Amino acid sequence: MPELPEVEAVTRKLRVASPWAEIVATGQFRPTTATGLERAIGLRVEGASRRGKHILLSLSGGPVVRVHLKMTGNLVVIPDVRLRTATVRAWLALNDGRGIVLEDPRALGRLTFHETIDGLFDDLGPEPFSAEFTAQHFVAEAQRTKKPIKLLLMEQRAVVGLGNIYAAEALFQAGIHPAKPSNEISVVRLKRLRGHIVDVLTAALDSAIAAYEQPGAFTEGENFPVAVYGREGEACWRCRAAIRRMPQGGRSTYYCPKCQR
DNA sequence: AGTCACCTGATT
DNA sequence: AATCAGGTGACT
């Protein structure tokens, strides 16, 4: 599911389940799924927030449970923790009978308990919707490296929240070739790209929230209209050239060879 | 700096 | 049987 917009939608949906209760038990499908979870027992859940693609459950007294959904995870509240579906990989049982559960068919998602939030996100770049995501910061990060711009966007350092879909979409909107060395892109184009990142994530957040409102309809996946992602061979919306797929960093990058130089 | 392992399921 | 998948660490 998740790049930043989907993680944000999941987090907002979680918050609807407040007021929270005390954690009375925890469990996991495999030892690698969660670490230190049992230390959360006896603490109250006090809130849910997001940083980059991470979800944070804040607990009474200061500890947190950090959740990463990876490729296919979803974090939801179920009314009865005993009634878990087959793909629930980890759970926090609350003293009102409910459960906060990680559903994740692919089982790559992770939960980790931390005594404090301090230092947890030191390696993460600025939030795209925050005042810290300045053109100055973004340009400086790009100029530090010759790595392809698409990889820079996915590193969570120049900015957090972009994944394979929205990185490709932002680059299409900006008319920049995904393999272009970051430090060879003009300042003007970098500033334009920064704006498109914000725009793409904003539009994607809107559709992710809409998707999560519809009960039953599109609870999985989102309905953001992609221009290039997954459209290999199709005609570009702008110039009709055939969209291409190329490997980059072990993933598929989609782009328009004519619109993106 | 680039590749690969981590997982399971859907599609070719 | 092989390839691919909205992510990220941990390796060469």
Chain C nucleotides reached by a protein CB under 7 Å: 4-9
Q: Per-residue pLDDT tens for A24-69?
A: 999 999 999 999 999 999 999 999 999 999 999 999 999 999 999 9
Specify whether A51 is located in the same domain as A146: no
Beta-ladder partners of A260? none
Domain that residue A83 falls in: 4-114
Same domain for A141 and A60: no
Residue A145's nearest CA partner among A112, A108, A185 is A185
Q: Are residues A221 and A152 in the same domain?
A: yes
- The reported pLDDT for the residue numbered A220 is 47
Catalytic residue among A13, A50, A53, A231: A53
Please enumerate in sequence order all residues whose Cβ is within 8 A of that of A250, keeping only pairs 6 or more positions apart, or say none. Answer: none
* A22, A103: one domain: yes
Same domain flag for A179 and A210: yes
**pLDDT tens per residue, range A121-145:** 999 999 999 999 999 999 999 999 9
- Same domain, residue pair A238 and A153: yes
Note the CA–C1' distance, A250 to C1, in angstroms.
21
Residue A240 is among the residues annotated as catalytic for this protein: no
pLDDT confidence tier of residue A1, bands split at 50, 70 and 90: confident
Give a yes or no: residue A128 inside a domain.
Answer: no
Report the candidate in A249, A221, A227, A253 with the shortest Cα–Cα distance to residue A240.
A227
Type and span of the H or E element at A28: strand A23-28
A79 is catalytic: no
pLDDT of amino acid A21: 96
CA of A120 vs C1' of B11, distance in Å? 38
- Torsion angle (degrees, nearest 10) of CA A28, A32, A34, A38: 70
Chain B bases near protein CB atoms (7 A cut-off): 1-9
For A200, which DSSP code?
A: H
Are residue A80 and residue A8 in the same domain, yes or no? yes
In the residue annotation, A141 being an active-site residue is answered as no
Domain count, chain A: 2
* CATH code of the domain in which A32 resides: 3.20.190.10
* Domain shared by A46 and A110, yes or no: yes
For residue A227, what is the domain's CATH number? 1.10.8.50
pLDDT (average), residues A74-102: 98
A36 and A148 together in one domain: no
How many other C-beta atoms are found inside a 10 Å radius of the C-beta of residue A214? 10
- Residue at A38 is within a domain: yes
A147 and A87 fall within a common domain: no
Q: Which nt has its C1' nearest the CA of A222? A: C6
Does residue A100 share a domain with residue A184? no
Span A196-253, pLDDT tens digits = 999 999 999 999 999 887 754 444 456 799 999 999 999 999 999 999 999 999 999 9
Q: Model confidence over A143-188: pLDDT tens digits?
A: 999 999 999 999 999 999 999 999 999 999 999 999 999 999 999 9
Q: With contact defined as beta carbons under 8 Å apart, do A15 and A124 qualify?
A: no
Distance of C1' in B5 from CA in A250, Å: 12
